[in-house]
Amino acid sequence: MKYIPLWKRLLIAAVLIVTVAFCVPNFIPAAQREQWQKTLPAWVPMQSISLGLDLQGGSHLLLQADMDSVIKKRLDDAQIFARKALREANIAYSALSLKDGAVILTLKDDSQIGEARKALKSADESLSIDQNGLELSAHFNDKALKDMRDKTIAQSIEIIERRVNGTGTKEPIIQRQGDDRILVQLPGMNDPERVKNLLKQTAQLTFHLVAAGGDGLNVLELPLRADPKTSLPLNRRPLLTGDMLVNAQPTFQDGAPIVSFKLNAQGARIFCDVTRDNVDKPFAVVLDKEIITSPRINEPICGGSAVISGRFTVQEAGDLALLLRAGALPTSLTIVEERSVGPSLGSDSVEAGKTATLAAFLLIIGYMVISYGTFGVFAAVALFVNMLMIIAMLSMFQATLTMPGIAGIVLTMGMAVDANVLIFERIREEIKAGRSILSAIDTGFEKAMSSITDANLTTLISGIILYAVGTGPVKGFAVTMSIGIVTSLFSAIMLTRVMVQIWLRVKKPKTLPF
């Protein structure tokens, strides 16, 4: 019988210690665990497995981005820049308009077609230009539209993450679905309406001067937040935009909730100049085409800091500050699907998962002990350790456990003992072939290794592919299955072999127990 190297014994001991350390917090009540976390050193593991939406309840939202408005705004900007470029290049044209998702330019002189193409291209590099006589049509091709969608969804996901994380929600799942949809799952969320309101707001913040009489076409009529029936005429061109903010925090002024904000260097300079030139004039703070406050400029506001007041509640002030910090969405989002999972239903799922796992564990142990006797007991111990290792790794990496994830764990249990079955059956064959017990065991472990490695490696590849291309429940199943495959190789091969070797040295058996 081969000697057990020191490194192998130390490795097994280290893995078992780490496994126990990361498993223990999962069996400590949450309140007590938080209290211990404040007193124990930072290196002591106290994190537990994060439960998914289906196990602890919460909210499931499917949001759809308004891509049409993104494309229209891009075309509007292209038309504005094209008009300026045409004027600077002294290109004569009879019409410049938007029609059927394209910028249509009608020229007066065909000798200026080349220069007109350059002017349209300078307005937006992504535009493709078609010609029909003196008419040029600039539009976005399929590749440009795909890039636009990808950037819009990626930016929206980033901003949604900031907003959701700002509410204190733990382990949210935010991911893209299809071309223009975003899945948001909020486990444990007990105030879904607040999050829905945060996600539905684009949070485009602008500052405008109130228009004086005679401003004509540059006037924009917007409703007051406090009184939607009343509107104010504003200068269409904003003085400042929300992207000039570097921070925003809720605070109090004269006992009333307000939002204080700080501007970047450019915004601070512009705000100082504007307020200096417009003392005693009103201006408006506009959020998503609604005036939230319209104060009078009493004195120049320099230094880059100011406040927004508007009869806020404490939560409204906090939410507005959060929206401003997170930034504006590139387009509006519409909730197209909404589901809520109650805590009681989540608890039922947890109990069902526990029951299924325990039943599978007991049945597998029973079969192994009946079939392989003492060796079956070793396989049962290895399977138990494998279960603990899965829990430990889920806790260590803060992976989210879902019902499909529990299914992956149950599947892994069968795969874990499958390695032992291959080894034990190979040992049995070697005994029948006339080998001694020690030789049969060594040969059985060695010759079964290639089959076990190939089987687990191919399954692991499948798990990686499922995780890469799957979403939601599929990813949860792939994570636990992949973790289980890795841990089963350790427990079913290294741990089982050490137990068998110790048993041989202590018992010195004449026959195998199966």
Taking only the tens place, the pLDDT of each residue in 354-412 is 888 889 889 999 999 999 999 999 999 999 999 999 999 988 888 878 888 888 888 88
pLDDT tens-digit series, residues 444-458: 888 888 888 888 899
Check pLDDT > 90 for residue 45: no
Q: What is the pLDDT of residue 64?
A: 93
Residue 290: partners with Cβ closer than 8 Å, 6 or more residues away: 222, 223, 224, 225
Predicted pLDDT of residue 380: 92
Beta carbons of 333 and 152 less than 8 angstroms apart: no
As given in the structure block, the two tokens for residue 354 are 């526990």
Average pLDDT over residues 135-160: 90
In the chain, where does the domain assigned CATH 3.30.1240.20 lie?
A: 68-144
Which pLDDT score, from 0 to 100, does residue 170 have?
Answer: 67
How confident is the model at residue 190, as a pLDDT? Answer: 67
Q: What's residue 385's pLDDT?
A: 92
Q: Where in the chain is the domain with CATH 3.30.1360.200?
A: 205-328
Beta strands in 378-508 (DSSP E): 400-401
Which stretch of DSSP H or E encloses residue 412?
helix 403-432
Look at residue 271 in the predicted model and tell me its pLDDT: 87
pLDDT digits 0-9 by tens, 487-497: 988 887 888 88
472: pLDDT confidence band, cut at 50, 70 and 90?
Answer: low
pLDDT for residue 182 = 92
Which of 152, 117, 153 is closest to 135 using CA atoms?
Answer: 117
Domain 6-55+343-507 is of which CATH architecture?
A: Up-down Bundle (1.20)
pLDDT at 435: 87
State mean pLDDT over 282-295. 84
Q: CA 262, 264, 266: angle at the middle one, nearest 5?
A: 135
- For all residues of the chain together, what is the average pLDDT? 85
pLDDT (0 to 100) of residue 17 = 92
pLDDT over threshold 60, residue 217: no
The model's pLDDT over 178-194, given as tens digits with 9 standing for 90+, comes to 889 998 888 877 677 87
Which pLDDT score is estimated for 345? 61
| Rounded percentage of the chain residues whose pLDDT exceeds 70 | 96
Percent of the chain with pLDDT over 90: 15
Ranges 136-150, 160-174, 473-487: which has the least confidence: 160-174
For the chain, give every residue range classified as CATH 1.20.1640.10.
6-55+343-507
Question: For the domain with range 68-144, which CATH number is right: 3.30.750.24, 3.90.79.10, 3.20.20.70, 3.30.1240.20?
Answer: 3.30.1240.20
pLDDT (0 to 100) of residue 2: 57
pLDDT tens digit sequence for 291-311: 888 888 888 888 888 888 777
- Residue 47: left if φ>0, alpha if ψ -120 to 50, beta else—which one? beta
The CA-atom distances, in angstroms, between 233 and each of 310, 408, 484, 496 are: 18, 61, 64, 80
Per DSSP, 471 falls in state -
Bridge partner list, 297: none
Predicted confidence (pLDDT) at residue 216 exceeds the cutoff of 60: no
Q: Mean pLDDT over residues 459-484, rounded?
A: 86
Q: What is the 8-class DSSP label of residue 492?
A: I
| Fold annotation for 205-328 | Gyrase A; domain 2 (3.30.1360)
